[in-house]
Amino acid sequence: MLSLLIGVGASAAQIKRGDIANAVFGDDATFKAFMSAREVTAQRLHHRGGDADWFALSGYTRNDAVPVPAARATQLRKLFGDSKSYTWSHIPDEHGVSSQKACLPDYGVLLTFRGGGAPVRVALCFECDMFAVFVGDSAKPRRVNTEEDSDLIRSALVEIVRSLFPHDADIQALQSKT
């Protein structure tokens, strides 16, 4: 786990603020796959408990996937494709200063974008307003993002997931933050 954090920190030092393709999606190819995905689904995630990894998708069980309507998929692409959606706190500024949240994410929703190539998965945590981007279809897809704050787009994400899971009491109880 520590080596993963050191590796992410080392790669973040080479990424510039505003570089969505590399900071959020790991590279241009993954960003293009995300933006051009023809099919988008959403699933509820539930942490397995015990010693299960909080940072990896293998630490969670998943409910059945629900299709994301085209209009909502377009909203998601606009949100995650806009550099103004991010605080860039994990990417060092011109003085080499960066910050990280001191919380453990509890991902509750997984968005999967499928098109040509490997699926791009975005796991959302509404407890600490963080997200993780994973690439691949294996049981342990590779996490690729260094920017992970979703504070600025929380309200829009809450609106979207509420529409996707209208009968889920936990999702419906999510509050927008201003």
- Which of 83, 76, 141 has the alpha carbon at shortest distance from 113? 76
Closest CA to 64 of 165, 176, 150: 165
Name, of 5-14, 109-118, 136-145, 155-164, the range with top average pLDDT.
155-164
Distance, in Å, from the CA atom of 175 to the CA atom of 167, rounded to the nearest integer, reads 16
pTM metric for this prediction: 0.88
Mean pLDDT of 43-72: 94
In 13-171, which ranges are E strands? Answer: 39-47, 60-62, 66-67, 109-114, 120-125, 130-135, 142-143
pLDDT digits (tens, 9 = 90+) for 93-146: 677 766 777 788 999 999 999 997 899 999 999 999 999 999 998 878 999 998
Q: pLDDT digits over 31-48, tens only?
A: 999 999 999 999 999 999
Number of Cβ within 10 Å of residue 31's Cβ equals 21
